[in-house]
Amino acid sequence: MANRTETRTERAHRTIHAGGEWLAASSGATREILDPADALPFTVVAEGDEKDTDLAVAAARRAFDTGEWPHTPVAERAALLRRVAGLLVRDREELGLLESRDAGKTVEEGRVDIDCVADAFRYFADLVAGEAPGRVVDAGSADVHSVVVHEPVGVCAMITPWNYPLLQASWKIAPALAAGNTFVIKPSEITPLTTIALIDLLVEAGLPAGVANIVTGPGHTVGARLAEHPDVDLVSFTGGLTSGTKVAQAAAATVKKVALELGGKNPNVVFADACETEEGFDTAVDQALNAAFIHSGQVCSAGGRLIVEESVRERFVAELARRARKIRLGRGTEDGVECGPLVSAQQRAKTEDYVASALAEGAELRCGGKRPEPSPQRPESGYFYEPTVLDHCHREMRVVREEVFGPVLTVETFRTEDEAVALANDTEYGLAGAVWTADAGRARRVAGRLRHGTVWINDFHPYLPQAEWGGFGKSGVGRELGPAGLAEYRESKHVYQNLAPKPVRWFAG
Ligand code: NAD
């Protein structure tokens, strides 16, 4: 393990991988990667640009047009994905720690992320390996054999965010490879490290040169070039609404396929009947905390909007705020820490701005709302912010309508089921939401009416690789995971064979 880390260290800023070579940026530019727990640089990567992007796309194009990968038998492709899963398990500690330092999450969260990445590789390996090679269609004639087959889309560009760097990358890379594509990935410029490490594992697993390429660098140069590039066939983007809109616009000029996984403003609806027993109350409060504050709320599906029945509001919010005050903030690598810092100074400033605007608009601060006192576990220079509960919120407030992406929970109330559903659907997003109730009929009714891509009943946050993930409304276009997550990376081709060709005599000739 130590040797592997040294190899990466020795490679230093040669973090662009194109056509099987590790390269520095053609301009020579580099970027320091900061540890969000103390804002100190701990490594350096290449700061690629459009020229580096063109080089990587050309390598992916060559590997697709003339290489063996698109034609490699499905069983071999699946076997390679399984080898990658095995290597991820082997390097779990190293990668989990890297994710923790890069993104600020706790090491345990980092480890769980790596487990989920390995699951994604296994899932897509099993999915393709178990499939029929095509679908025979009844053409209505014994003289015709008609079959629909799936082919890879081609060169896929992937642009990923900083909150779950390797997990979001794996939801794209695993299905793209399973389907036989080649790719160029651009990780977030602030958290590229585990994605760089994954390229090493793909090479070690035996992926041919040019199939997997990475360009580290900013969105407005590398990302924008990928989205507009004429030799890219598909762009899959995970990130915010503003950048996602730009990607879709840039991609439109060359009519490439586009998949967008964008933000969310996710409701957590709690009915009073869920809190009737002590156990029910404890579970609903515990999960509301988890929904809002895990990874400091920097989760696309964070339950940042608590919508609670008026009759239990005071008891529920008081207990929630009491427990939120006790969340142990600190460097993700320290024992006993439950929540790390925000990922960047910019992300904390954005959070502070949302809280200030909510208070100016009349919200009541129940806890948090400030930076914590510094301690040995949380240096003053780190980007820490206390879990914050804002009571008496309403939909006119920016903090209720817009994605904060920080540890901020807003509280709204309702009196009837219709009102609860209307509030939960009152968002331009539609990524995920939850309903808490002891009434099975109500649970199904409300779940059926929620306009969100994932609905949890008496739970929050779990996902399954075999179930589609994605959003209604402005939460995105397309789906990741599940069979639809594989279909994104495929073209369907109808092959119609006339077994007994004859003239049609349409023209008298
Ligand atoms: P972001 O939009 O700022 O950046 C995402 C990626 O896009 C980065 O790699 C960035 O460099 C790149 N980028 C920025 N501008 C670009 C441009 N003009 N052209 C091409 N690429 C560009 O998002 P972020 O702050 O890194 O991540 C947080 C966002 O991601 C949140 O909105 C969150 O909800 C969303 N997210 C969604 C999901 C999901 O599954 N729906 C999962 C994780 C994160």
Query: How far is Cα 24 from Cα 186, in angstroms, rounded to an integer?
Result: 15
| Residue identifier of the C-alpha nearest atom 39 of ligand 1 | 261
Is-contact 414 310, C-beta < 8 A? yes
| pLDDT of res. 11 | 73
| pLDDT of res. 416 | 98
Query: For all residues of the chain together, what is the average pLDDT?
Result: 96
Token pair in block for residue 136: 């025979």
5 has pLDDT over 90: no
| pLDDT of res. 69 | 98
156 has pLDDT over 60: yes
Which atom, in ligand 1's list, is nearest to the CA of 242? 2
Alpha carbon 149 to chain centroid, angstroms? 29
3 confidence band (pLDDT: 50, 70, 90): very low
Select from 99, 159, 215, 232 the residue to mutate for testing ligand 1; criterion: most ligand atoms less than 8 Å from CB. 159
Helix (DSSP H) and strand (DSSP E) numbers for the chain: 16, 20
pLDDT digits (tens, 9 = 90+) for 368-379: 999 999 999 999
Instruction: Write the DSSP symbol of residue 115.
Output: H
Instruction: Write the DSSP symbol of residue 269.
Output: E
pLDDT digits (tens, 9 = 90+) for 446-505: 999 999 999 999 999 999 999 999 999 999 999 999 999 999 999 999 999 999 999 999
Out of 109, 189, 261, 480, the active site residue is: 261
Which atom, in ligand 1's list, is nearest to the CA of 189? 11
What's the whole-model pTM score? 0.96
Token pair in block for residue 474: 């402005």
Stretch (H or E) spanning 318 = helix 313-325
Decide if 228 is catalytic. no
Pocket of ligand 1 (CB under 6 A): 159-164, 168, 186, 188-189, 218-220, 223-224, 227, 238-240, 243, 246-247, 261-264, 300, 403, 405, 431, 471, 476
Neighbours of 91 (CB within 10 A): 21
